[in-house]
Amino acid sequence: MIKFTNTEIRDLITAFIIISIAFAIANVGLDVHNFLSILPIVMVGVGLGFIFRELGHKYVAMQYDYRAEFKMWIIGLLIALASAFIGWVFAAPGEVKFHPDEVTDEISGRISIAGPMANMTLAIIFIVIAALIYPLISYPIYHLIYLICTVGFSVNSFLAAFNLFPVYTLDGLNVFKWNKGIWFVVFAISITMMLSSILIGAENMVVMIIESV
């Protein structure tokens, strides 16, 4: 059974709130009205991203009789807030600790890759839902769901790509140490998704998907 400790729940909630605020600021700046409007939408995408990412880590860890626990990184969260003001979120809210501490590169790599994979899967689900309900966005409720899905795609694509960079505290380092080939393929896919959301835009991607079917 997947369990979260009280400390982990506290760390996850803290990181979730700060990263949500950072993404909201990065999108609309300090305009209070726009910030308050987009914050709840961003929180859905970030919240689900955090939950599925940690569930992925924990599920895979359980298969190897290990326990994965999220630990927030205060400095990383402060950097995320500061970087948001230039329109780019340095999303390194924490790291995953393994228990017991001694773990092979393969096992740590498999556990770590589960997080970004969960974000990528969630991003794809978001964009598919957005495409399915696009013909109905003239209705307020469907328009809201559409906004949540397009923002959710962008946020989770970014979280997956960013966390696959092979640097300290990020999942990518463990994946890179384990298998550079797998790291490269997954990283390339995540970067493609992230750049598509930035350069093309989730809304335009939805239109392209609809026109292609």
Catalytic residues: 54
**Taking a C-beta distance cutoff of 8 angstroms, is the pair 123, 156 a contact?**
yes
Tokens standing for residue 172: 């990518």
**How far, in Å, CA of 192 to CA of 35, rounded?**
28
Beta-bridge partners for 71: 95
- Using the 8-state DSSP alphabet, how is residue 179 labeled? -
- Nearest of 210, 73, 50, 181 to residue 122 by alpha carbon: 50
**How far, in Å, CA of 189 to CA of 133, rounded?**
25
**How far, in Å, CA of 124 to CA of 193, rounded?**
9
For residue 115, CA distances in Å to 1, 157, 174, 192 come to: 18, 12, 12, 17
DSSP readout, 2-28?
----HHHHHHHHHHHHHHHHHHHHHHH
Tokens standing for residue 111: 């556990």
